[in-house]
Amino acid sequence: MIASVHFLATNIEVGTHVQRDGLDLDTIWSTVAAMVIVMAMGLTLRARATSGVPGKLQLVWEWGVEAVQKQVEGTIGPRGAAVVPLAVALFVFILVANWFSVLGIGSEIEWIGTPTSDINVTLALALIVIIPVHIASIRSRGFVGYIKHYVGQPFPKALFLVNIFINGVEEIAKPLTLALRLFGNLLSGGLMLALIAALGVWSISHVPIGDIATVILNPVWKVFDLAIGAIQAFIFSLLTILYFDTAMSDAH
């Protein structure tokens, strides 16, 4: 019996996209598809919303919004009510975008990929959070208080240059870690699908061991990927709330 094992992992490229005029077209159309789905869900919910006995979609939505409201009230307080729509919108969009991974087949370029596996999308989402966070901080503390926050902490004012450096690094790290965490987890999911697909060439004699393994592993991984997608959407929204909490707090 002759065993031949061929793994194509070395041929798997990270970040391959359909490009035209410098634009990643596959990322653009998958992002638009996620936006259309989210807007369609919102319009459907609005059409079916009732003050009487709610339907299943309205019930799930109200439960989710109420959970976010409790989280915001427990951290920021009543003044953080404006954060709820942003946190909920980000969660729903990221969840839908993440779950596009279920449609993946492990090819180099998916017909509709996971937009959050593109660093450009996750960086844009991070900026959507971080810029309003700084605006909220200025409104809450005033411009002078906003500056003092970075100059006077965590060390005495005499070490203001050290304070500026430390706080500057922290503020730069926030959007980067927010973006890279989501990007890394979703990109790794796509790479795993590619690796599982690569098993298809594995055969022992004439027995297609790789095809059998692919049929078994693909559904298992996609179920796992659904859980990862939901967790990452939740973490992104939770960090959004926590960043606003820090920005709007006067405490050290």
Q: What is the pTM of this model?
A: 0.80
Contact 123, 182 (CB under 8 A): no
For the chain, helix (H) and strand (E) counts, in that order, are: 6, 4
Return the pLDDT at 39: 93
Is residue 227 domain-resident? Answer: yes
Structural domain contains residue 51: yes
- How many domains in the chain? 1
pLDDT in tens, 158-170: 788 888 999 899 9
Chain length of the chain:
252
Give me the pLDDT at residue 7, please.
Answer: 44
Tokens encoding 214: 């692919």
The average confidence (pLDDT) of the chain is: 80
Q: Is residue 3 in some structural domain?
A: no
Structure tokens at 74: 């427990």
Q: Is residue 197 part of a domain?
A: yes
81 assigned to some structural domain: yes
Residue 60 lies in a domain: yes
At residue 240, the pLDDT reads: 92
Say if residue 154 is preceded by a cis peptide, omega within 30 of 0: yes
Domain extent, residue 194, equals: 11-247
Is position 5 within any domain? no
Q: Which pLDDT does position 201 carry in this prediction?
A: 56
Whole-number Å distance between alpha carbons of 67 and 80: 14
Residue 252 falls within a domain, yes or no?
no
